[in-house]
Structure 1
């Protein structure tokens, strides 16, 4: 749902880079080892086990590299089998049967089969597991083994989203003999093995020569933690990385370097002004609609700089998905209309509201822009900046807030609007009825149509102010190919990455 860090900013050159002419700087770069890659990443994960942490950085390194799930969303953004060869849904929509690949082993040689898969999923379902994606599996009644290659998942009620849920980093397969050590020394079934974790510096992965599937091109990948802006500048200037992940701002001078290019990431990071729908005066639909008209989304989106043009959204859904409905123009920027709606709702001029912002650059800078827009329609805005632990406890868990500016990074998370305990305090019978039909969908066309209805419902209810997609890109060496650019999962999958003309 969130990324626990400031936006990643970096400039173009260090002191060395500023003193040297660009051609001399480029000539000083070391020769690239053709089978290795070095990637700069924003955050050091608290653990390398994505099944026990909400930190996206754990899955960013390990998903489809070290660990694999029964399914995956591939580089084209399509749901595919992974450790499962295929699956079948019963006519009543209550039983999924997964047929698993044979001959799959973990990095330590342990066998993967339906018994291990059942262990992994039952561990996920355990209320005390700490799994951050457990809510996706609320409809699962039981997980049982039919044979070594056949796994049965029985549901309490139909859930068309289950195959997608099984693709998430928190649903990867783990072995009972090694699961206790996965936080520090992960053992999975993926195309890369864990090599070492130098705390505060990097995580290194090496090719799994016994991989059951298509072998990767690379022999080694190193994820370097970009802890400070100065450190990032130095690393860039000295040519010590081949790519930077999730770039949201870059200096103009660095953009002219011929050896790097920007590569899009189709993640589903949605910037919203979240509203406590149960807190007066925001329990009045007219007030929530007034907020949507009051915010100049084009202006707020400029906080990322001139190099990026964030895609505006009018609902809580990514434009890259085929079920997306374009509702951007439903609430055009119109201060006069916003004032009229507030007047009709009898909101007095000068009413004070509190905008709680997390400790991110989008919070600090975007919060000021949002406050300006709200004050222009008659509110007095108190900006309250809190740290992440306070935000999680007071805003997310206790729902003690009025407005908050936040980035939702989880893919396909429209289901949160059907949850009674979610921090928006949105309790709408019409939406829940639509979502029940979403879960009962039997075809892709039916699923997409119903997802469209769900998008329209939350937009008409103005549950939140939907702003834009975070314009994340990767800054990669021009000789690198094979990036998974359309997968919505926050991860950097290595298996197809190669240097030009490199062969497996």
Structure 2
């Protein structure tokens, strides 16, 4: 009887509450103002919503918009918005609010992390209470996808300035509190315009150390961990937890400064691609994870993916021949800059060993994140760097001027112009395939593998979105199974 008495309230509570471990605490909870993935992990499609979204099956769908149409000249999108939607503080969402949110996004002085996605937009106008027109300077077939990103969620002019600390959105959950250094708590929005979620409360707990994380798991203090890339075997064997796949688009690359000798030489870049043992490097995450190798900057989960893994097979002798033909002397010194991550520390040593095997003398330079962003990403002061690109569908970075790869190829830019002008999904996929092949032929970077991210979840949890490429743990379909 005592056991029964103890079990009943626990089951009732567990059926409506969830505790999730997240690796990093975000600097802000406003995904339109920070590049930190941890912000969107908590807020996207939970607190905040966009005009469009990518659902749990990886499909682009309308969200706060009911539908959209494109003009014959492909220079104007018209969005019809849903009615009777309110923000968590009771304020109304309409086309005027959507116009404000997008104009705020387009402000060149803001800190939006994905501003490049929206450079084609020249005008945003509310034509009536629930109709919005977006005008472009040139066609952009990718815009509906761009509007699904966390950077483009809808915010209200009266609360936008405080969203970093106290976010106010339209989503199925509302902000309840942020205990700095510990957790963020969300509560169900019972006035939500859509389907009522099963869970009443969700708490995102910040996991600071691997030891602390495993202790919390062992004591049953968390119901799941997000974006697990390594976990002790004792938890993999536990019957009450299971690994839940994620189809995020985290691409590990050895980035090359294409503008710095000797890497401005195509032969040298191709030598690097032959020199790195990707299969060996992919064991970085331990035997329980099997990363997918890639041959270009594109995820295998996308229908437009082209398998280019075998374009540059591991072949140190071929790499040496290419370097010799390019006039690179054995013993040439090069610097490999690495970020303060496990893959940087351990993967950097493995990459350095491969490069020294073909004749380079490698100097490892480890930077903290602020210095990496300043020196490598902004100033482009580096030769090689091992880095993870986590943004979904970010092939467009290779068409940008002055991006940190220093890659400036008119052929690729022409292909990307055609991508933006694609008149059908079939044509779009074909052109995305051409873009992947061009990057592989130019050996812009050494494309390595997809980070093998999974969620470690309690076996009774159901309804996780496993195929969306957006880095977020969406709560609206999650429930506890009996």
Q: TM-score, normalised by structure 2?
A: 0.97
Partner of 1:7 in structure 2?
none
Query: Could you tell me how far apart the structure 1 residues matched to 2:452 and 2:301 are?
Result: 13
2:280 to 299, 304, 318: 299
Partner of 2:195 in structure 1?
214
1:229 to 210, 215, 227: 210
Query: Could you tell me how far apart the structure 1 residues matched to 2:395 and 2:226 are?
Result: 26
1:434 to 409, 415, 418: 415
Please list, as runs of the form range in 1=range in 2, the aligned pairs for 1:66-465 lying within 5 A after superposition.
66-465=47-446
C-alpha contact (below 8 Å) 2:275/2:355 kept by paired residues = yes
Per-residue CA deviations over 1:411-468 (Å, capped at 9, x if unaligned) read 0000000011100000000000000000000100000000000000000000000000
Query: Could you tell me how far apart the structure 2 residues matched to 1:135 and 1:224 are?
Result: 32
Query: Could you tell me how far apart the structure 1 residues matched to 2:475 and 2:315 are?
Result: 46
Query: Could you tell me how far apart the structure 2 residues matched to 1:234 and 1:249 are?
Result: 15
1:40 is the counterpart of 2:32: no
**Secondary structure at the residue paired with 1:50?**
coil
**Secondary structure at the residue paired with 2:85?**
coil
Per-residue CA deviations over 1:230-286 (Å, capped at 9, x if unaligned) read 221221110011100000001111111100000001000000000000000000000
Structure 1, gaps ≥5 residues long: 1-26
C-alpha contact (below 8 Å) 2:271/2:319 kept by paired residues = yes
Per-residue CA deviations over 1:451-503 (Å, capped at 9, x if unaligned) read 000000000000000000000000000000000000000100000000115xx
Query: How far did residue 180 of structure 1 move?
Result: 1.4
Query: Could you tell me how far apart the structure 1 residues matched to 2:334 and 2:445 are?
Result: 15
C-alpha contact (below 8 Å) 2:253/2:388 kept by paired residues = yes
**Secondary structure at the residue paired with 2:365?**
strand
Query: Could you tell me how far apart the structure 2 residues matched to 1:309 and 1:33 are?
Result: 33
Query: Could you tell me how far apart the structure 1 residues matched to 2:478 and 2:375 are?
Result: 42
Q: TM-score, normalised by structure 1?
A: 0.93
C-alpha contact (below 8 Å) 2:253/2:445 kept by paired residues = yes
Query: How far did residue 181 of structure 1 move?
Result: 1.2
Query: Could you tell me how far apart the structure 1 residues matched to 2:478 and 2:158 are?
Result: 31
Partner of 1:3 in structure 2?
none
Query: Could you tell me how far apart the structure 2 residues matched to 1:300 and 1:120 are?
Result: 43
Query: Could you tell me how far apart the structure 2 residues matched to 1:226 and 1:162 are?
Result: 35
C-alpha contact (below 8 Å) 2:14/2:480 kept by paired residues = no
Moved over 2 A (4+): none
Per-residue CA deviations over 1:48-100 (Å, capped at 9, x if unaligned) read 11110011110110000000000001101110000000000001010000000
**Secondary structure at the residue paired with 1:250?**
coil
Query: Could you tell me how far apart the structure 1 residues matched to 2:331 and 2:110 are?
Result: 47
Query: Could you tell me how far apart the structure 1 residues matched to 2:106 and 2:14 are?
Result: 43
Query: Could you tell me how far apart the structure 1 residues matched to 2:222 and 2:35 are?
Result: 27
Partner of 1:19 in structure 2?
none
**Secondary structure at the residue paired with 1:432?**
helix
Query: Could you tell me how far apart the structure 1 residues matched to 2:85 and 2:366 are?
Result: 49
RMSD: 0.9
1:472 is the counterpart of 2:453: yes
Query: Could you tell me how far apart the structure 1 residues matched to 2:218 and 2:111 are?
Result: 41
